Amino acid sequence: MSRETIVLGAGMVGVSIAWHLARRGRSVLLVDRRPPGQETSFGNGGLIQREAVRPYPFPQGVGKLLSVLPNRRVDIRYNLRGMLEAAGPLFGYWRHSMPRRHARIIPEYASLIMLSTQEHEPMIEAADAGDMIRKDGWLEVYRSQAGLDARRQEALEAERFGVTHEALDRAGLNRREPQLADRAIGAIHWTNSWGVEDPGGLVAAYARSFEREGGRFVQAEIQDVSRNGRGWRVETDGGVHEAQEVVMALGPWVGGWMKRLGYRMPTFVKRGYHMHYAVDEARRLRYWIADAEVGYILAPMRAGIRLTTGAELKPLDAPPHYGQLDAAEREARRIYPSLGDRLDPEPWKGARPCLSDMKPVIGPAPRHEGLWFAFGHGHQGFTLGPVTGRVLAEMMEAEVPAVEMSPFRADRFGN
């Protein structure tokens, strides 16, 4: 079984890991219950966020916390069961969001983000997927001058990590995106981030490139993962597979598997929704738009204008509740009056895999030889998949990784 590897999870992270390992000559089997790119990676805003060097902190101000309590915001909703089940990780998230802790996390997190577009580039080329990519950046719009000024200061600080931007007043915003109403008084144009017109399609294209490298994909439900002598045994509803090494890249479903393997990680999920809308082509958005002070994204996708919501703190298996999407739609129509009718039969629902310190786990399992972890990317799994694939492949091949990986080790939580 030398160099045989099973990667569990065919989202952006898992597919990228499989792609990098196959390019290095490994025999790689990729396993997921759905086709590549059809779960969490399918439903995001479609941005490769080169600017996202600051992980999203938990609200710290009393005013912001009080504003969340009525549970009517667009950027965050919750229910009591979700808060109680994730109480420990959420408390850790709040602690790590305190200014001093968050300031220490930023350069560690940024070390991955800085390689994001660089590492997507060869995968896009190999997958012949350049027609899906827009490299002219995106617009983070503001309704208040105070909000815009504060974000401009953060943008200036992010320049040390190679982030580029342009601050736009109302006139400058109107030149970039004339379809927006006057409620938007200005924006930050993040100029070296990229947009993707079909996020699930890009992951699928990467997966096809992986298969051309000799990799194999099996669509099956994973039932058990266990040691098998010196290697690993993965049981699925379609058969049993064995390999010397296994990579856990199961996104929001990884928490349960960690417990079965004896690891207790401070995992939780942020759920989210999206819907596609019709639009007159003459009034179609030119750029991806984030209404920053409200908390949603409008994305010009191939399937229509995609509206994505903020975070919903509920258990992974809780039934959907569309009030957050409805509220986002009302606000979106005030900023972008040309938004047309809904196109999808029902809203899409997914979940982002999160950890309390806002950083992913990438690296070897502390107590199991041949078991590797790659999960907890929060809002940025789509952005960070190729970077994760590169550095994990380098670690698995005993090479020096492109990034200092100690901040992302699995045993940092005391396991």
Res 68 pLDDT > 90: no
d(CA 142, CA 271) in angstroms, rounded, equals 24
pLDDT in tens, 219-276: 999 999 999 988 999 999 999 999 999 999 999 999 999 999 999 999 999 999 999 9
- 3-class secondary-structure state, position 390: helix
- 3-class secondary-structure state, position 287: coil
φ/ψ of 132, rounded to 5, equals -90, -10
State how many domains the chain has. Answer: 1
**Residue whose C-alpha is closest to residue 358's, from 16, 44, 40, 58:** 58
d(CA 301, CA 198) in angstroms, rounded, equals 6
d(CA 295, CA 307) in angstroms, rounded, equals 11
- 3-class secondary-structure state, position 368: coil
- pLDDT (mean) for 77-83: 92
pLDDT at 229: 85
Q: Is residue 30 part of a domain?
A: yes
pLDDT at 415: 60
Res 307 pLDDT > 50: yes
d(CA 262, CA 170) in angstroms, rounded, equals 54
Tokens describing residue 329: 């739609």
d(CA 367, CA 202) in angstroms, rounded, equals 35
Q: Is residue 245 part of a domain?
A: yes
Give the domain extent around 20.
1-57+97-131+195-265+356-415
Res 2 pLDDT > 80: no
Give the list of residues 6+ apart from residue 333 with CB closer than 8 angstroms, or none: 339
Torsion, CA 58, CA 62, CA 67, CA 70, rounded to 10? 90
- pLDDT (mean) for 185-200: 98
218, 10 Cβ separation under 8 angstroms: no
What is the band of 207 on the pLDDT scale with cuts at 50, 70, 90?
Answer: very high
Q: Is residue 240 part of a domain?
A: yes
Tokens describing residue 283: 């009034």
d(CA 9, CA 7) in angstroms, rounded, equals 6
What is the band of 175 on the pLDDT scale with cuts at 50, 70, 90?
Answer: very high
Q: Is residue 144 part of a domain?
A: no
pLDDT at 313: 96
Rounded CA Rg of the chain:
21
Res 103 pLDDT > 70: yes
d(CA 7, CA 100) in angstroms, rounded, equals 36
**Residue whose C-alpha is closest to residue 8's, from 223, 214, 206:** 223
pLDDT at 135: 98
pTM metric for this prediction: 0.97
Q: Is residue 91 part of a domain?
A: no
Q: Is residue 11 part of a domain?
A: yes
pLDDT at 327: 97
Res 62 pLDDT > 80: no
Res 380 pLDDT > 50: yes
**Residue whose C-alpha is closest to residue 37's, from 139, 137, 123, 138:** 123
Res 1 pLDDT > 50: no
Please provide the average confidence, as pLDDT, over all residues in the chain.
96
- pLDDT (mean) for 131-159: 98
Per DSSP bridges, beta strands 239-243 and 231-236 are antiparallel
Tokens describing residue 100: 């001093």
115, 161 Cβ separation under 8 angstroms: no
How many C-beta atoms surround the C-beta of residue 166 within 10 A?
Answer: 14
Q: Is residue 327 part of a domain?
A: no
226, 166 Cβ separation under 8 angstroms: no
Q: Is residue 231 part of a domain?
A: yes
**Residue whose C-alpha is closest to residue 297's, from 345, 323, 335, 353:** 335
φ/ψ of 402, rounded to 5, equals -70, -15
CATH number at residue 381: 3.50.50.60
Give the list of residues 6+ apart from residue 296 with CB closer than 8 angstroms, or none: 74, 75, 290, 307, 308, 309, 310, 328, 331, 332
